[in-house]
Amino acid sequence: MDIQSVGIVGAGQMGNGIAHVFALAGFDVLLNDVNQDSLTNAITLIDRNIERQVTRGKVSADDKAAAMARIRTTLKLADLGATDLVIEAATERETVKQAIFEDLLPHLQPHTILTSNTSSISITRLASRTDRPEKFMGFHFMNPVPVMQLVELIRGIATDKDTFDACLAVVDRLGKTASTSEDFPAFIVNRILMPMINEAVYTLYEGVGSVKSIDESMKLGANHPMGPLELADFIGLDTCLAIMNVLHDGLADTKYRPCPLLTKYVEAGWLGRKTKRGFYDYRGDVPVPTR
């Protein structure tokens, strides 16, 4: 099918990035959130981020104006039912995602494809709670969406070929690269990345190294662009913990046990950049390690 309109649930860090790239690629975008301030802030951020691309010569001023004109916002989830493709980008909690899809179902067109930007939750299980498991997929963007090239496409057990092909065509139109993952906990990227981050937290927890020494070791010793603890703060420690719990519960292997220190930081509300404190303190001009 020819997808022209896209509904995005959630105007947070991932949702506004997804809206950004879809609008620039020529799709009509309807961005939904439960909070008007979140929608207003998302539009401001998208405008600023595309303006940065204009300044760098990657996007023309006319293309920016056209992209911004393609983005509409709504507080009503039901409004997304008129779109060809829905991408759920809400918080990484299965009960929240299930409730969103259940509320959407009565308003969908027969051809509408449902997808989730989940980074770890079973696509098959999410799809089973809808009326169209054959038209349901995982559509996992990397953060920050406008910068990162990869999109993970995850088929549930019932996903049909037409749905997969349609989503693959969308990724091509976005100018990104698709990787296909089977529907197992955390898929490919986070199945590999999150245990590494968790091990870095254990290395800190056990006193093997400090925040600074761990991050510098991986940046200078393994040529990583960002240290694992710095990256965890960027992703959000609550998200990291949620993914580790999905891996631990889904695969029943002790090697995926979340580090107690990661749990403690989340319990303290130190979630990383978004709360100004995590493994680094971001409240000053320069991030300062908290351990």
Binding-site positions for NAD(+) read: 10-15, 33, 92, 97, 119, 143, 274
Task: Clarify whether 20 is annotated catalytic.
Answer: no
Question: Among the options 16, 117, 120, 190, which is catalytic?
Answer: 190
Task: Clarify whether 122 is annotated catalytic.
Answer: no
Torsion of CA 263, 264, 269, 271, to 10 degrees: -50
Contact call for residues 155 and 183 (beta carbons, < 8 A): yes
- Binding-site residues, in ranges, read 10-15, 33, 92, 97, 119, 143, 274
Contact call for residues 261 and 204 (beta carbons, < 8 A): yes
Question: Among the options 119, 120, 181, 198, which is catalytic?
Answer: 119
Task: Clarify whether 190 is annotated catalytic.
Answer: yes
Residue type (1 letter), 285: D
Rounded distance, CA 138 to CA 168, Å? Answer: 11
Residue type (1 letter), 78: A
Question: Among the options 38, 88, 116, 140, which is catalytic?
Answer: 140
- Using alpha carbons only, give the angle 206, 212, 218 rounded to the nearest 5 degrees: 85
Determine how β-strand 280-281 pairs with β-strand 288-289: antiparallel
Question: Among the options 38, 88, 152, 198, which is catalytic?
Answer: 152
The H or E element that residue 102 is part of is: helix 94-104
Task: Clarify whether 111 is annotated catalytic.
Answer: no
Rounded distance, CA 269 to CA 267, Å? Answer: 5
Rounded distance, CA 37 to CA 24, Å? Answer: 23
Torsion of CA 82, 34, 136, 14, to 10 degrees: 110
Residues known to be catalytic: 119, 140, 152, 190
